[in-house]
Amino acid sequence: MATFDADAKMNPPLRDEADRRAILAGIVDGTIDCIATDHAPHTPAEKDKEFAAAPFGVVGLETAVRLIYTYFVLTGIIPLERMVELMSSNPARRLKLEGRGALSPGARADVTVFDPAKEYAVHSAEFYSKGKNTPFEDWPVRGRVDTVIVDGRAVVVRGRLVEAGRPA
C-alpha cells in the first residue's frame, strides 16, 4: 500500500502488521474457520485511476490456493490438512452445502489437484479471468493447480481450462 497501487485496493482493506498477526493467530487457533475470496476482478482501465477513484477488488480465485499453500502451509503456519478444512470442508459445512467439501461416497465430486513441488511466480498475464488486477504480481509461489473437477466434470485439465470436456 506504500505506493497506493490500485491493484492492492480491496474491501475489506489491507490492514497493519498487528491485524495481520491477529488474523494468523485466529486461523491457527480455529477462531477463523474459513478462507474464501470474493474474486472481484476489474479491467485495467477500471483500476488505472487515482487510488481513491479506483474500484475495490482484486483477482482472488486464481491466486488463493497457491498463496495459502506457499505462505501458510510451507512456512509451517498451518498443515495442509488445515488448508483443506479452511478452503473446502469448513465453508461447505458453514454454508450447509450438502454433499460438498468432502471426498466420500455419494458426495459431489468437487476436487482441486495441484502439484505441490511446482515453483513459479504469479503472473497476471496467465490468468484466465478477464481481470488481471493483483497485488501479488511476481510473488514466488509453489503448488500449481493441475486439475479442477466441479460436480464430477473436469473444468481444468493439465492447467488449462476445458470447454465441453475438450481442452480450450
Q: Is residue 23 part of a domain?
A: yes
**pLDDT for position 168:** 47
Q: Which whole number is the average pLDDT over 76-95?
A: 95
pLDDT value at 134 more than 80: yes
Cα separation of 97 and 20, whole Å? 29
Q: Which DSSP state fits 48?
A: S
Q: Please give the tally of structural domains in the chain.
A: 1
Q: Which whole number is the average pLDDT over 94-99?
A: 90
Dihedral in degrees, nearest 10, Cα atoms 48, 159, 86, 56:
10
Q: Is residue 1 part of a domain?
A: no
Q: Is residue 14 part of a domain?
A: yes
For 83, residues 6+ apart whose C-beta sits below 8 A from its C-beta are: 35, 68, 69, 72, 73
Q: Is 167 helix (H, G, I), strand (E, B) or coil?
A: strand
Q: Is 87 helix (H, G, I), strand (E, B) or coil?
A: helix
> Where residue 141 sits, what CATH number does that domain have?
3.20.20.140
Domain boundaries, position 153: 6-167
Task: Output the nine-digit C-alpha cell for 162.
Answer: 476445458
pTM: 0.87
Q: Check if the beta carbon of residue 145 is closer than 8 Å to that of residue 66.
A: yes
List the catalytic residue out of 38, 48, 115, 151: 38
Smallest CA-to-CA distance from 90 within 131, 5, 31 is with 31
pLDDT value at 155 more than 50: yes
pLDDT value at 160 more than 90: no
Q: Is residue 40 part of a domain?
A: yes
Q: Is 48 a catalytic residue?
A: no
Cα separation of 2 and 44, whole Å? 20
Q: Is residue 55 part of a domain?
A: yes
Cα separation of 132 and 96, whole Å? 32
